[in-house]
Chain A
Amino acid sequence: MATAALIALIESLVPVIQNIIDWINKAKASAAQSAEWTPEQEAAVDAAIAKLDLNPEVWQKSQPL
């Protein structure tokens, strides 16, 4: 494989890997949760769920990780 194509392939993997690393950190934080959510935490999760959009473009482009 030409160097340029290899670099392009690796570059295309960066956002995917970064998203997975972010998810791993969030999964660790979830696993470490030791107390029931505060009202503020509950409100934040409820707001995030309410924002979920069935439109694929909207969900895939706009939902915060």
Chain B
Amino acid sequence: MKTKTAALIPLIALIAACSSITPGNDLTVVNAERATQLALDTFNLIEKTEYDVYPALKLTNPTVAGEIRTFVNKIRTESPTWLLSARDLTKAYKSNRSAANKADLDTAVAVLTQATAEAVKYIALMAQTKAH
């Protein structure tokens, strides 16, 4: 499972950074905004998917259901802080594009990217388990 997540992280990072940007815009800011939007949409998707799937999943595969519920609870309680941190650091970087602010923003984006990759892995797992 960890291997699958590790494989997804570059993919998610690629989604968040795969297209070129309009001249005059800052790639660091655009990538941070892409990662923030993707994380927000993905966290919403996993919350809704788990809500739809959990009753059936608990009956058919309680171990997987428990593992997914633990992760979804972590997203529910911690992701608002992660997202707010990314937004605050994006704004801080836009007002002062220093190397230190860029490093802080890159760290916040990495946290979002890791959590997004893990969420995608669990969404795929739920879809597969539900279909069987």
Residues of A near any B CB (own CB < 8 A): 12-13, 15-17, 19-20, 22-23, 26-27, 30-37, 45-46, 48-49, 52, 54, 56, 59-61, 63-65
Q: Which one of B2-10, B42-50, B100-108 is at the A interface?
A: B42-50
Q: Closest approach, in angstroms, between the C-beta of B70 and any C-beta of chain A?
A: 13
> Contact check: which of B25, B44, B80 meets A54 at CB < 8 Å?
B80
Known contacts A19-B48, A61-B51, A63-B44; A34/B20 CB under 8 A: yes
- Is the Cβ of B30 less than 8 Å from the Cβ of A34? yes
Provide the B29-42 mask, 1 if CB < 8 A to any CB of A, else 0: 11001101110111
- Is the Cβ of A32 less than 8 Å from the Cβ of B45? no
* Secondary structure dominating the interface of A: helix
* Secondary structure dominating the interface of B: helix
- Is the Cβ of B19 less than 8 Å from the Cβ of A60? no
Residues of B near any A CB (own CB < 8 A): 15-16, 18-22, 25-26, 29-30, 33-34, 36-38, 40-42, 44-45, 47-53, 56, 73, 76-77, 79-80, 83-84, 87, 94, 123, 126-127, 130-131
Q: How far is A34 from B19 in the complex, measured between Cα atoms in Å?
A: 7
